[in-house]
Amino acid sequence: MSVPGGIVILDFGSQFTQLIARRIREQEVFSAVLPCSASLDDVRAYHPSGIVLSGGPNSVYDPAAPVCDPRVLELGLPVLGICYGMQWITHTLGGKVTPAKRREYGPAVIDLSSENGQAGSVLFQGLPRKLNIWNSHGDHVQSLPAGFQVTGRTENALAAAEDTARRIYAVEFHPEVRHTDRGTDILRNFVFGICAAKPNWSGQAFIHETVEAIQRRVGARPALCALSGGVDSAVAAVLVHRALGPRLTNVFVDTGLLRKDEFRTTLELLRDRMHLKVIGVDASQRFLAALKGVTDPEEKRRRIGRGFIEVFADEARKLGEIGFLVQGTLYPDVIESVSVRGPSQTIKTHHNVGGLPADLPFQLVEPLRDLFKDEVRRIGRELGLPEEMLTKHPFPGPGLAVRMLGEFTPEGLDTLRDADAIVVEEIRRAGLYEKVWQAFAVLLPVRSVGVMGDERHYGWTIAVRVVESEDAMTADWSRLPADVLERISTRIVNEVRGVTRVVYDISSKPPSTIEWE
Ligand code: XMP
């Protein structure tokens, strides 16, 4: 999947590498993330108009510090080094990088004043002289390689530099994160002002490229798609359906862990409105039996992952020879689960990918693996999916099992499902469903005293979690109007048996996560 004239990003392992790619795609310019170890031929194969070297968690002096082929700096293409990328360029070209006395993490102010009365950097064209930026680094550039000039400083450090003759640019902060003011303008200046990249990348181009790539890979063989009921797998299914037509069979499993009425309503949507060939499998008893009494969240995920694979293997056997399993895995699922493309660090094993056993009887087809949720929604809209499907809130693959903290019980599941339905209903009624990222209930293994009528009750606690987010990499709790919170709380206590207390979660991500387990 590539279009000439785009940008190649070489990944040194930062959590934000795909965010750089996404900010470039927002400019309708193609971008590909390659591991930093990619060969020069791999890079050239994309016919890029420029190269970005990402950040990364290492010091250039670590014995296992990731490196690029230094000849990427001699291809004659403009290069932008970000954070570790800047330090690697400095180190490689003969400058000096030193461990900082104080790690610079979080916000800072950069001064972009030009030196010696010369014009400021093209990279910062149109920007004010002082800018709020966001840092995350331990080492500093102490002295620059020959030919480089300083183009920006923070209070503590030399924060930006360039060698215009060689067209090498470097910043020590992260222009790709939202906390850097005008960060997108900096990337845009690089992409258009310096690289003269072509804005010829669009949703339609992605669809076209992806359909062709799937046809090449799968050929005339049949494939099975695992539908979760959510937007990601639905978009993946429609894309693969475009590529394979009737050779794609979709399976939608009722794990017994879905939201209230989710299985029935989604099956109708998939079959009647999206015209997909879908086998609906009721495997709820199997999943509930496998989970009974399990407390550890990772163990819950593993058992559910195993259950899914067993169900799909059964269905595949019934259908005959099937070598490919289509999944709607997105980039945030990948980055938080396993290190795939480059040396990006693992945060925790979870998501669709985390539960899969190593000896998978299928090859995976994951057409959305490089995208973020809002990009997938945009692609889905271009593919003509119904809005009901496109606006659905994300829901974890392991479903309500990871929203019931502590021991899994069938009774707890009923309580949670009823409370969750009230949260969603009230958020919809308040016209907030499409404004918030997710709204759901969590059942806590905490009992407290309540008085109902004249009687004392020792009941369970429901936590309500409503967050706003752009891509689930970061999130903030939603400042819901008090009357909405009040209606949610009153209805849960009145309508859901056994619950006597409702609390509202006011944690942001980071440091918390969106889900509780
Ligand atoms: P966290 O809790 O990591 O969640 O902030 C980020 C986004 O991912 C969803 N999520 C999951 N999705 N399997 C999934 O398919 C999982 O195990 C899982 N855990 C979290 C979560 O709902 C949020 O949108």
What residue spans in the chain does CATH classification 3.40.50.620 cover? 203-390
pLDDT at 261: 97
Which residues in the chain land under pLDDT 70?
Answer: 1-2, 102, 115-119, 334-360
Pocket test for ligand 1, best of 227, 253, 350, 440 (most atoms within 8 A of CB): 350
Minimal-distance CA residue to ligand 1 atom 12: 396
Q: Which of 83, 91, 336, 517 is catalytic?
A: 83
Q: Which residues line ligand 1 (CB under 6 A)?
A: 301, 336, 350-352, 394, 396-398, 438, 472, 509, 513-515
Minimal-distance CA residue to ligand 1 atom 24: 394
* Ligand 1 atom with least separation from CA of 516: 2
Question: What are the counts of helices (DSSP H) followed by strands (DSSP E) for the chain?
Answer: 15, 18
Tell me how far apart the alpha carbons of residues 121 and 169 are, in angstroms, rounded to a whole number. 9
Q: Which residues pair with 251 in a beta bridge?
A: 226, 279
Q: Which residues pair with 31 in a beta bridge?
A: 7
68 is catalytic: no
Q: Is there a contact between 321 and 219 (Cβ–Cβ < 8 Å)?
A: no
* Ligand 1 atom with least separation from CA of 394: 24
> Which is it for the CA torsion 173, 127, 51, 80, positive or negative?
negative
When the pLDDT of each residue in the chain is averaged and rounded to a whole number, the result is: 91
Task: Please report where in the chains the tokens 């046809």 appear, as a residue.
Answer: 215
Cβ-defined contacts of 418-422 (< 8 Å, 24+): 418/260, 418/495, 418/496, 419/443, 419/462, 419/492, 419/496, 419/499, 420/259, 420/260, 421/259, 421/260, 421/261, 422/488, 422/491, 422/492, 422/495, 422/496
Minimal-distance CA residue to ligand 1 atom 7: 472
* Ligand 1 atom with least separation from CA of 438: 24
pLDDT at 448: 94
Q: Does residue 510 have a cis peptide bond before it, meaning omega lies within 30 degrees of 0?
A: yes
457 is catalytic: no
pLDDT at 65: 93
Fold of the 203-390 domain? Rossmann fold (3.40.50)
Single-letter amino acid, residue 329: T
Nearest to 292 by CA among 410, 416, 411, 412: 410
What residue spans in the chain does CATH classification 3.40.50.880 cover? 7-194
In this predicted model, what pLDDT tens digit does every residue of 180-190 receive, in sequence order? 999 999 999 99
91 is catalytic: no
Give 333 Cα–ligand 1 centroid separation in angstroms.
7
pLDDT at 344: 46
Tell me how far apart the alpha carbons of residues 231 and 329 are, in angstroms, rounded to a whole number. 11
Write down the architecture of domain 7-194 according to CATH: 3-Layer(aba) Sandwich (3.40)
Minimal-distance CA residue to ligand 1 atom 4: 514
Q: Which of 174, 241, 350, 351 is catalytic?
A: 174
Give 499 Cα–ligand 1 centroid separation in angstroms.
25
Cα angle, residue 455 at apex, residues 450 and 456 outer, rounded to 5° = 35
* Ligand 1 atom with least separation from CA of 228: 15
pLDDT at 138: 82
Task: Please report where in the chains the tokens 């209230």 appear, as a residue.
Answer: 260
Give 508 Cα–ligand 1 centroid separation in angstroms.
14
pLDDT at 353: 41
Minimal-distance CA residue to ligand 1 atom 16: 351
Fold of the 404-504 domain? GMP Synthetase; Chain A, domain 3 (3.30.300)
What residue spans in the chain does CATH classification 3.30.300.10 cover? 404-504
Give 351 Cα–ligand 1 centroid separation in angstroms.
6
Minimal-distance CA residue to ligand 1 atom 10: 396
